[in-house]
Amino acid sequence: MERRKIEIMDTTLRDGEQTSGVSFSISEKLTITQLLLEELHVDRVEIASARVSDGEFNAVKSILVWAEENGYADRIEVLSFVDNGISIDWMANSGVKVQNLLTKGSLNHLTHQLKKTPEQHFAEIKHVIELAQSKGIATNVYLEDWSNGMRNSPEYVYQYLDFITKQPVKRILLPDTLGILTPSETAKFLTELVGRYPGVHFDFHAHNDYDLGTANVLEAVKAGVSGLHLTVNGMGERAGNAAMASAVAVINDFAPEVEIAIKESSIYTVSKLVETFSGVRIPSNKPIVGDNVFTQTAGIHADGDNKNNLYFNDLLPERFGRKREYALGKTSGKANIEKNLQELGLKLNDADLKKVTQRVIELGDKKETVTKEDLPYIISDVLDSSLYEEKVVVESYVLMHAMGLRPSATISVKIDGEKFEENAQGDGQFDAFMNALARVYDKKKRSLPKLIDYAVRIAPGSSSDALCETIITWQTDQKKFITRGLDSDQTVCAIKATQKMLNII
Ligand SMILES: CC(C)C(=O)C(=O)O
């Protein structure tokens, strides 16, 4: 069966830039346009609104220079206005070849905003289209507020379409301007128009106010539209537009009768670039592109992935240039740990795997997530601990750090089953801890090794609440040796490393 081709017009640089607080620079606009056309393979790009500013004029001009040189000029579009040719001059001077003319798609907007009759509006539109033609600019028309028009003034919409379909326009762009349509209304209105005006190219432009953007896009495709407007990361006015990533996945998986040119494997790269340039963070649970959406957290899911991929659906991360991940934390099981170890090229025997899993769960209880980068440190810590017989146990401690007072520590330590309690002050909390410990060892007539080096580091790639590792170098009369401690708290790390030392000397 031959599939029906659908054009994808990306409007990240026009409607997406209407996201509150977002403004792309000239070079960012150019880079995004190049990536959209050459990597993502969108069919058309709407890059700006006419007349906005001098900066926008320069951005449009430089994109058009590049587009002309590379054969893309008729795929670059600019939103323009019915303003007696002012937009046309602006576009002609910047090299634009296609305008998306903003006209009124509801009687409500026409009467209350423009205060014009349909006849006056149509005459002005006709004039602008002719002016554009005379300057070599092709026209698509937007019917702003079209969805309300279909609900409340369908006779006006039909009167408009009867007029416009006789004009030299390439495409008719139908926006759900306020994002109010339900999927069933989208299907009904678009089926109606596609049937009534055969052969006319209709684009659908969804907004996401009720989070129905993607669902409405799917209905529009099924109803027979010829094009869709999408934005990277769903950027756009208010709640944004239908998101490129979700719409593409839904079309590819649920509308096999149509064909789109988008290269799925480039979606993530483009999303990340737009995230950086726009400064708008992608929510971690945003389908396809969010940080967490391909991460299995529960041990039972990771286990199922090993057993005939029981927890996979068609949204395989590799399609979008991503990888499945297995989170480490209190809900992880052995399978999560094993999956991460495989990636690091490590293998543990069953007993060690159990210990490491237990430690990850304990840590997860404290800080909720542990990263893959933490794992080698945890392994070395857990396996290290098993080398020592725990003759000395630091059972409890209170450390105090208060402004204007010397740090102090009270500790309780068990040595060969005998319990000791001491307190001391120090230059810092760990120093106070070591001074209290020295008092305990004095009582036992034993001495402690000298601390000759103390280093702290966090696991690479971790954030400020990461696990840290303290590496302490000790010196006795006979030997120099190192112990390590791992925890999310720096002082606790040092105490853990010290307890290991106490069991070595
Ligand atoms: C400016 C217009 C075209 C728009 O984005 C909309 O109506 O949603």
**Cα-to-centroid distance, 201 and ligand 1 (Å):** 18
Q: For ligand 1, atom 6, name the residue with the nearest CA.
A: 177
> Is the model's pLDDT at 498 over the cut of 60?
yes
> Rounded to whole angstroms, how far apart are CA atoms 296 and 370?
13
Region 301-324: mean pLDDT is: 83
Q: Mean pLDDT across the chain, nearest whole number?
A: 92
The predicted pLDDT at position 388 comes to 52
Structure tokens at 289: 């592109």
Of all residues in the chain, what percent carry a pLDDT higher than 70?
Answer: 96
Top-confidence residue, 36 or 358: 36
pLDDT digits (tens, 9 = 90+) for 440-468: 999 999 999 999 999 998 765 555 566 78
Report the half-sphere exposure of 363 (CA within 13 A, side-chain side).
Answer: 30
Separation of 8 CA from ligand 1 center, angstroms?
Answer: 16
Mutate to test the pocket of ligand 1, among 49, 87, 237 (most ligand atoms within 8 A of CB): 237
Ligand 1 pocket, mutate which of 79, 82, 216, 217 (most atoms under 8 A from CB): 79
CA of 306 from ligand 1 middle (Å) equals 47
Q: Is the pLDDT of residue 42 over 80?
A: yes
Residue 186 three-state SS: helix
Note whether 390-448 and 449-505 share their fold. yes
pLDDT (0 to 100) of residue 460? 56
Say how far apart CA 207 and CA 11 lie, in whole Å: 12
Residue 100 CA: which ligand 1 atom is closest?
3
Nearest ligand 1 atom to the CA of 142 is 3
- Ligand 1 pocket test, pick from 9, 99, 102 with the greatest ligand atom count within 8 Å of Cβ, gives 102
The beta-strand segments (E) located in 302-437 are 325-326, 328-329, 369-370, 392-400, 408-415, 418-425
Q: Where do runs of H (alpha helix) occur along 53-105?
A: 54-70, 86-94
| Span 16-33, average pLDDT | 96
- CA-based nearest residue to 230, from 253, 251, 259: 251
Name the closest-CA residue to atom 8, ligand 1. Answer: 177
Interatomic CA distance for residues 48 and 32, integer angstroms: 13
Residue closest by Cα to atom 4 of ligand 1 = 177
Helix axes 350-367, 375-385, angle to 10 degrees: 120
CB neighbours of residue 119 within 10 Å: 10
CATH of domain 449-505: 3.30.160.340
Question: Per residue in 411-443, is it b (16+ CB within 10 Å) or e — as a string?
Answer: bbbebeeeebebbbebeebbbbbbbbbeebbee
Determine how β-strand 138-144 pairs with β-strand 408-415. unpaired
Domain ranges (residues) in the chain: 4-278, 295-387, 390-448, 449-505
Name residues whose C-beta falls within 8 Å of residue 134's C-beta, 6 or more positions apart in sequence: none
Please tell me the predicted confidence (pLDDT) of residue 385.
56
Burial of 273: CB neighbours in 10 Å, binned 0-12, 13-18, 19+? middle
Q: Which CATH number fits domain 4-278: 3.50.50.60, 3.40.50.300, 3.10.20.340, 3.20.20.70?
A: 3.20.20.70
pLDDT of residue 91: 98
What pLDDT shows up at residue 165?
98
Point out the residues that are catalytic. Answer: 14, 144
The set of protein residues with a Cβ atom below 6 angstroms from ligand 1 is 15, 102, 142, 144, 175, 177, 205, 207
Model pLDDT for residues 264-296, shown as the tens digit of each residue = 999 999 999 999 999 999 999 999 999 999 988
Checking if the pLDDT of 479 tops 60, the result is: yes
Which ligand 1 atom is nearest residue 205's CA?
A: 8
Residue 94 has pLDDT above 90, yes or no: yes
For ligand 1, mutation pick of 11, 205, 209, 229 (most atoms within 8 Å of CB): 205
Q: Which atom of ligand 1 is nearest to the CA of 236?
A: 5
| Ligand 1 centre distance from Cα of residue 58 (Å) | 23
| Closest atom of ligand 1 relative to the 241 alpha carbon | 8
Tell me how far CA of residue 176 lies from CA of 74, 183, 216, 473, in angstroms. Answer: 25, 11, 10, 67
Please report the pLDDT score of residue 379 as a whole number: 82
Over residues 201-212, the mean pLDDT reads 98
Measure Cα distances from 331 to 32, 362, 505 in Å: 40, 10, 37
The interface predicted TM-score of the complex, written ipTM, equals 0.97
Average pLDDT rounded to a whole number, residues 380-400: 78
Give the span between the Cα atoms of 22 and 502, in whole angstroms. Answer: 57
Reduced 3-state DSSP string for 274-291: HHHHHCCCCCCCCCCCCC
Asked whether residue 52 carries a pLDDT value surpassing 80, the answer given is yes
Tell me which fold the domain 390-448 belongs to: Double Stranded RNA Binding Domain (3.30.160)
pLDDT at position 258 over 90: yes
244: tokens are: 């490129």
Give 241's DSSP letter: B
Looking at 326-390, list the stretches that DSSP marks H as alpha helix, in order from N- to C-terminal side.
Answer: 334-344, 350-367, 375-385
pLDDT of the residue at 338: 87
Highest mean pLDDT range out of 17-21, 293-297, 309-313? Answer: 17-21
CA of 14 from ligand 1 middle (Å) equals 10
State the distance from the centre of ligand 1 to the C-alpha of 64, rounded, in angstroms: 23
Query: CA 392, CA 386: separation in Å to the nearest integer?
Result: 14
CA of 402 to the centre of ligand 1 (A): 59
Per residue in 328-387, pLDDT (tens digit) is 888 877 888 888 888 877 888 888 899 889 888 888 776 545 777 677 778 877 776 555
Q: Give the pLDDT confidence score for residue 463 in this predicted structure.
A: 59
Cα gap 380→219, rounded to integer Å: 54
How many angstroms separate the alpha carbon of residue 144 from the centre of ligand 1?
Answer: 6
- Who wins on pLDDT, 461 or 206? 206
Q: Quick one: which atom of ligand 1 is closest to the CA of 11?
A: 5
3-class DSSP state for residue 113? helix
Taking only the tens place, the pLDDT of each residue in 143-195 is 999 999 999 999 999 999 999 999 999 999 999 999 999 999 999 999 999 99
Cα–Cα distance measured from residue 28 to residue 95, given in angstroms and rounded to the nearest whole number: 19
Nearest CA to ligand 1 atom 7: 177
Q: What local confidence, expressed as pLDDT, does residue 141 receive?
A: 98
**Which residue minimizes the CA distance to atom 2 of ligand 1?**
144
Structure confidence at residue 369 (pLDDT)? 56
How far is residue 61's CA from residue 77's CA, in Å, rounded to a whole number? Answer: 12
Inform me whether the pLDDT recorded for 437 exceeds 60.
yes
Contacting residues for 248 by C-beta, under 8 A, at least 6 apart: 8, 230, 260, 262, 264, 267
